Amino acid sequence: MPGWSCLVTGAGGFLGQRIVQLLVQEKDLEEIRVLDKVFRPETREKFFNIGTNIKVTVFEGDILDAQYLRRACQGISVVIHTAAIIDVTGVIPRQTILDVNLKGTQNLLEACVQASVPAFIFCSSVDVAGPNSYKEIIMNGSEEEGHESTWSDPYPYSKRMAEKAVLAANGSILKNGGRLHTCALRPMYIYGERSPFLANIIISSLKNKGILGVIGKFSIVNPVYVGNVAWAHILAARALRDPKKSPNIQGKFYYISDDTPHQSYDDLNYTLSKEWGFHLDSSWSLPLPLLYWLAFLLETVSFLLSPVYRYRPLFNRHLVTISNSKFTFSYKKAQRDLGYEPLVSWEEAKQKTSEWIRTLVKQHRETLDTKSQ
């Protein structure tokens, strides 16, 4: 394969940075363009000191700016699109989520057509498949089973519609007469060092004497380590560029999990942090059906108050459902079509994440010591 170039959107994020770290090891890669709305100074510096001969170009701007995207896509061989707003609690306005996750993806697809980019990989989410009810049980589900979320909440809806747009764009005629080839990856819940979700849980727990907040004690899920999700994106990029493999994956989506044991969200948090003195909350909690209907009541109050006051419930039915369902998926199809095998074992992923949690605990204690002086 001749020299190629890759654009990674959301490159300053939790997953985006990992993808860039793996991309620099790719053969014949001449340029990586990293794109995000804003890069932290330390992230920007990390990209500039990445220790490779590959050219790294930083693009900082809005995914809703069509001209900016076209400029970023010019001369690119592969786009890996991870930029998204992830919000399942209702903090961020619905329109903002729809604009970034759906309109931003549509803008990027159009930029690829105009700039004649032949390959597009979309980081989707298991949320586009459901679960639609906490009573629904899916264990080791597959792509062929056709699971689809029916939630109208902005995050699952925007990701579902964006994925449909990406897969429908497969085969689009490019400005230079070539064709655009697309695929989508649906990772499970992603954990690992520098996870913003996990960091929030740990910091909140440190303020609560090391008691881990209840997230989803009734769930059975198969979380996936961030390094393995990043690796799947690299393999998808290789496959879309390979004339032999590409026809098999064009216009298709793949579930991405790994060998992390099936467990509840609460058990995962405890397993990763128990070495540093964290423990599960043993206090009584509401039964799941009651929790669900309480969420419905809070949503109703929020809706009734909306003309005069923006009330955001602490939780909603979508959050209760995704946090407490038995919902796992196999990576066999990705294994068959992409050659995907987890790069990092469960034991190694657990160790790396636990070590990172130790640094959070240390930072927290140092902050407390400084304040007490």
Which residue, 54, 75, 63, 166, is CA-closest to 117? 75
Residue 324, token pair as written in the block: 């407490």
Identified catalytic residue from 134, 155, 254, 292 = 155
Pairwise CA distance, residues 154 & 179, whole Å = 31
The answer to whether residue 155 is catalytic is: yes
Q: Could you tell me which residues come within 8 angstroms of residue 95 by beta carbon, excluding any fewer than 6 positions away? A: none
Distance set, CA 74 to CA 4, 6, 43, 175 (Å) = 12, 11, 24, 12
Say if residues 113 and 172 touch (Cβ distance below 8 Å).
Answer: yes
Pairing status of strand 181-187 against strand 224-225: unpaired
Pairwise CA distance, residues 40 & 230, whole Å = 20
Catalytic residue annotation: 155
